[in-house]
Amino acid sequence: MIAAGFALALALAAAAPPYAPVTDARLAAAASDDGWLMYRRSYDSRGYAPFTEIGAQNVAQLRVVFTYATNLPQGHESPPVVNGRTMFVTTPLDRLIALDAVTGRVLWRYVHDLDVQALRAVCCDVVNRGVALYGSNVYFGTLDDRLIALDARTGRVVWKRVVVPVGKSYAITGAPLAVDGKVITGVAGGEYGARGLLAAYDAVTGNLVWKRWTIPAPSEPGGTTWPPGMYLRGGGDTWITGSYDPLTRTLFWGTGNPGPWFAGVRPGANLYSNSVLALDVATGRMKWYFQFTPHDSWDFDGVNEMVLVDVVRGGARIPALVHADRNGYFVALDRRDGKFLYGVPFVKVTAMRGYTPSGQARMIAAEYPRAGRDTFTCPSASGGKNWYPIAYSPQTQLAYVPMLHLCANVHVTGKLANDYGYFGELSTTVAEPGHAGFGELGALDVHTGRKRWSYQSRYPWTGGVLTTASGLVFSGNAEGDFFAFDARSGKVLWKTRLSSGIVGVPTTYRVDGRQYVAVYAGYGGGVSAFGGPAAALTANKPRGGRLYVFALGAR
């Protein structure tokens, strides 16, 4: 079956549109490219496109140009990535499709021969969040921990590397990042007793260039923040794509929760879990780190995207990164040295009282889960914001954040490992008290963290965000509504109902001067399974993946 599919790929690719190689120079200038060349469009992870053809005056004229149905019922989280007239989307269970970005014609398909043993170490749905492009190749990771390079024109396998052997409690769900001739991938597995890592491979040969463990050994800096031996199963996984500053040649990559979940068995800050790591792109050497939630006991992964912006503080313009953390705080750091600038809550938070002026998290000891009683916590393990990426507009200087209003009752089990994972506690999701709905899209001022406007939703806000130079913000929710908002006021300018809830990431691109907007519908992922009342609200929503591509009506 696989071989037959590959033969079809070659036959279809014979009529493929021209494909321009994706060079280092093009990636460095991706913010101004007509395509969408990487996970968040550009290395700064802004999710912003400088396009103006579709604006407030005509967005209501958007029409569906084509759709593509995957016939898979799981969560569809991949952003459409576009080079020229070729679009790449991934699906659940590790399939990669190349389409004509104008007509939707299938150019080729690749179906990974997935080792199903690996699915025992996959949390929160069998998803894939997309690809990286470099040269004439397209790269993606798999649930059984492979990094694969395919010829972008034909779908032919160029090389395949085992990042971690099957059976080691890892998975790859995030999109890799191509930078400086390397393809860099993170891993997932914090719920299964894995030890987080980043790995960089030569984009041409597939040879390993460097590997960086995120949880230090006892002899390494930070190693004494763990009890003896626990670092080997310490979590800190790297499952969301990082950002990159070409001026300083620095990667910024987030790390996930420590393991096991229950903090009572691992005294200490548990470095470098729930952190952002600033790494030298050539070697993986750590330049600095910042820990958003030390000694985490609530699954407050720090993996959410690091968006590179300039902020003004005390009259000075500072090269910074902003980050909407699962712990419910919007944090800004000086990206040169990790110096803390501010941290502002954007949802209800009970486990911490913010940060000291130097950036130390002020955790509340009495709010930690403990044996013999349930502990009520806000936000829930789904976070004040889950992985769904924010967007930033340099025109409005606002960050557009998909928010969740969920809390939890946490129960200590006394058993660290069970058939599902490496926990020591159970979490039951409940509604946030005093809040009418489960979702919100909020616009935050990056200089202060202050909320400028908000759109409330009964349904969880589970779509990624896109913003454009024409003053639009695109995003969608679990009900399947896809919106265009006015970027300055939050006014709804356009809305359409798609075939399923949205956990996809919208992108936009231009071909021959015509602008397109693309997004996956196909509900699934963690909130759909573990969102308590929010999951119940969406339990009967249609499932099934379908890519939608919009453009203005006939010209």
Residues with catalytic roles: 299
Q: Provide the b/e sequence for 317-352 (b: ≥16 CB within 10 Å).
A: ebebbbbbbbbbbbbbbbbbebebbbbbbbbbbebb
CA 174 and chain centroid, separation: 7
The CA distance from 85 to 339, in Å, is: 42
Instruction: Tell me the one-letter amino acid at 94.
Output: D
- Say if residues 185 and 199 touch (Cβ distance below 8 Å): yes
- ∠ Cα 113 77 161 (to 5°): 35
The CA distance from 19 to 138, in Å, is: 12
Structure-block tokens of residue 320: 């910074």
The residue with tokens 């059984």 is 144
Alpha carbons within 13 A on the beta-carbon side of 531: 28
* Residue 456 Cα distances to 140, 277, 359, 477, angstroms: 35, 33, 30, 11
The CA distance from 489 to 524, in Å, is: 30
Q: What is the DSSP string of 246-297?
A: TTTTEEEEE---BSSS-GGGS-S--TTTTEEEEEETTT--EEEEEESSTT-S
The CA distance from 276 to 485, in Å, is: 30
- Say if residues 172 and 187 touch (Cβ distance below 8 Å): yes
Instruction: Please report the sign of the dihedral spanned by the C-alpha atoms of residue 495, residue 499, residue 438, residue 235.
Output: negative
Name, in order, each residue with C-beta under 8 angstroms of 196's C-beta and a sequence gap of 6 or more. 186, 187, 189, 190, 213, 214, 215, 234, 235, 236, 237, 238, 255, 256, 273
What SS3 state is found at 225? helix
